[in-house]
């Protein structure tokens, strides 16, 4: 067969058939619901019967073909389940090439399978092509479908943009991108910021946190490890890194390479103190450092770099064996600084 082109062929013919249209239009955009990820789900249950409902005034596209849900919510029935096991159905938007129509369909799952049925994704000039909208849990003997039985899984298009990243060959699915500013990616439950740097490309912003100690001085008991108890987090870039409920701990929410810095001044009756970081409350010591000076102004300083797992926590500890109680001075603004470097 000789090569050809459309919609205007060599003879000036401007007509195209459905198959030619699909081949061309499916390249113009991704399949999915035209919607913000923050919008309510298209498909929902409300315990009004063994059925799901489809919200009005929604628009989607599939393989270049448009679809709208109309001006009123409508109902799709769910088949009865008397199998004795829970069944998970799948609500899809289906292109049927018999007449090239797009409609919402409910595909019954297999009882006891624990997962919804597979999508039908036939390409070519015949058959059907589906995109998922929602999964529906149908317990044995279910008479109604509740809101919690329906889980949204519709892909969103139109709101997130496919953008070109300067100086790379990559197209990245992000939203609201201004050059030099963070881009945002929807994770399924929240937006996550990403930044672009030369050499590393797009990545999450590196984490940073700083805790300090104010108020009363902290006693440093002789002969034991003294965990520094922080009173405030003055800066951090992720929630849950520090809390007053566990004042000695600084938690690293994501895996990565971190630099840990601890600085403080202490009072000792004689020379000598050690300080180190402890990992996850175990005996593991990180970056132990001896501080030889005695009296006021004993400088405590640690600088450690290493790889950590998500949810690891670190604590700064001070050990002295002078036989007398020492003091960690809050007037000198003790600090622990945690910064992710990779």
Q: Is the Cβ–Cβ distance between 106 and 78 less than 8 Å?
A: yes
Do strands 51-54 and 43-44 pair parallel, antiparallel, or not at all (unpaired)?
antiparallel
Amino acid 188: pLDDT: 52
Q: What is the mean pLDDT of the chain?
A: 81
Q: Phi and psi of 336, rounded to 5°? A: -125, 125
Question: Is 163's pLDDT higher than 60?
Answer: no
pLDDT band at 167 (very low <50, low <70, confident <90, very high): very low
Query: How many whole angstroms separate alpha carbon 215 and alpha carbon 231?
Result: 8
Question: Is 107's pLDDT higher than 70?
Answer: yes
| CA dihedral (263, 267, 273, 277) positive or negative | negative
Q: Is the Cβ–Cβ distance between 326 and 297 less than 8 Å?
A: no
Return the higher-pLDDT residue of 173 and 53. Answer: 53
Peptide bond into 8 cis (omega under 30): no
Nearest of 325, 190, 315, 307 to residue 254 by alpha carbon: 307
Percentage of residues in the chain having pLDDT higher than 90:
36
Region 143-159: what's the mean pLDDT?
Answer: 88
Region 233-243: what's the mean pLDDT?
Answer: 75
Question: Is 76's pLDDT higher than 80?
Answer: yes
Task: Give pLDDT tens digits for 21-39.
Answer: 888 888 888 888 888 767 8
25 three-state secondary structure: helix
Amino acid 234: pLDDT: 76
pLDDT band at 176 (very low <50, low <70, confident <90, very high): very low
Amino acid 294: pLDDT: 44
Region 132-145: what's the mean pLDDT?
Answer: 95
Least confident of 141-145, 165-169, 170-174, 294-298: 165-169
Q: Name all domains of the chain by residue range, CATH numbers in brackets.
A: 31-157 (2.80.20), 162-203 (no CATH), 208-340 (2.60.120.40)
Amino acid 291: pLDDT: 63
Longest dimension (CA), the chain: 101
pTM of the model: 0.53
Return the higher-pLDDT residue of 142 and 20. Answer: 142
Task: Give pLDDT tens digits for 310-319.
Answer: 889 999 998 8
CB environment 233-254: b (16+ within 10 A), e (fewer): beebeeeebbeeeebbbbbbbe
The single-letter DSSP state of residue 119 is: P
Across 137-146, 188-197, 287-296, 328-337, which has the greatest mean pLDDT? 137-146
DSSP symbols for 53-113: EE-SS-EEEETTEEEE--SS-EEEE-----SSS-EEEEEEEEEETTTTEEEEEEE---TT-
Query: How many whole angstroms separate alpha carbon 15 and alpha carbon 19?
Result: 12
Question: Is 281's pLDDT higher than 50?
Answer: yes
Show the tokens assigned to 9.
């062929």
Question: Is 158's pLDDT higher than 60?
Answer: yes
């Amino acid at each position: 067969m000789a090569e050809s082109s459309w919609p205007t062929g060599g003879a000036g013919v401007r007509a195209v058939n459905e198959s030619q249209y699909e081949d061309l239009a499916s390249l113009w955009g991704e399949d999915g619901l035209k919607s913000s990820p923050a919008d309510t789900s298209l498909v929902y249950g409300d315990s009004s019967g063994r059925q799901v409902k489809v919200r009005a005034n929604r628009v989607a596209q599939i393989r270049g073909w448009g679809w709208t849900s109309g001006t009123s919510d409508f109902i799709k029935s769910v088949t009865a389940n008397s199998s004795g096991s829970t069944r998970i159905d799948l609500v899809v938007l289906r292109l049927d090439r018999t007449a090239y129509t797009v409609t919402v369909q409910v595909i019954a799952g297999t009882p006891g399978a624990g997962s919804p049925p597979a999508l039908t994704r036939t390409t070519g000039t015949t058959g059907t092509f589906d995109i998922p909208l929602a999964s529906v849990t149908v317990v044995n003997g279910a008479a109604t479908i509740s809101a919690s039985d329906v889980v949204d899984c519709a892909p969103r298009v139109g709101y997130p943009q496919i953008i070109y990243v300067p100086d790379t060959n990559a197209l990245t699915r992000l939203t609201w991108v201004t050059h030099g500013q963070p881009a945002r990616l929807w994770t399924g439950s929240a937006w996550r910021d990403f930044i672009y740097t030369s050499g590393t490309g797009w990545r999450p912003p590196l984490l940073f946190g700083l805790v300090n100690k104010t108020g009363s001085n902290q006693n440093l008991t002789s002969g034991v490890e003294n965990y520094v108890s922080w009173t405030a987090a003055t800066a951090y870039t992720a929630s849950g890194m520090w809390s007053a409920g566990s004042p000695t701990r600084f938690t690293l929410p994501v895996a990565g390479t971190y630099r840990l810095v601890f600085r403080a001044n202490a009072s000792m009756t004689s020379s000598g103190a050690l300080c180190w970081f402890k990992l996850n409350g175990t005996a593991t010591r990180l970056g132990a450092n001896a501080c030889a000076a005695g009296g006021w102004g004993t400088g405590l300083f640690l600088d450690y770099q290493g790889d950590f797992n998500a949810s690891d926590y670190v604590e700064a500890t001070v050990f002295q064996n002078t036989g007398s109680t020492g003091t960690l001075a809050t007037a000198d603004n003790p600090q622990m600084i945690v910064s992710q470097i990779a």
